Structure 1
Amino acid sequence: MPYVPIPIIVYYAFMALLFVKRTMKPKFLNVAALSENNILYYILGFGLFYLFDYSYTVITNICKELGITFLFVKRKKK
């Protein structure tokens, strides 16, 4: 499966949600969980989560290549 840019898709989905909320002002978006500040916090939280996940993946792949155990990565005994 080719690489799917999930962070970019999520970012633009949240931006579209903010745009719709500001311009059209639909009643179903007037929930407290979908306030503008909360949507921006969701973007920040998702970005931080994805950053840590990506860095963990990169570090574990480097450690696998070098033969170093990293955190919970266990080597299989032969």
Structure 2
Amino acid sequence: MDNHLIHMANDIATFHQSYPEDEATQMVAEHINKNWAPSMRQKLFEEFHDHPTVFNNLIGKSLLQINCEKYNPIKTRFREKDGTGG
């Protein structure tokens, strides 16, 4: 488990918690998209998949808006489910 990455993600979410949930979710995703390398974003998805309970709820809600070209199983799952095909 990458405790440092988990701690960083949770700190970002905690910082934005005072905003309305939709706005906070967007802000968390924007921060991670702008400031984290693709490899860090990929690791975030892997860590969330393996240890979802250690993350702030805003992280889980932000994952649909976080860009990761190599790996985003959450987006794929929703695309397959709603029939858009990606």
TM-score (norm 2): 0.29
Q: Based on CA coordinates, which of the two structures has the bigger radius of gyration?
A: 1
Q: Relative contact order (alpha carbons < 8 A, sep ≥ 6): 1 or 2 greater?
A: 2
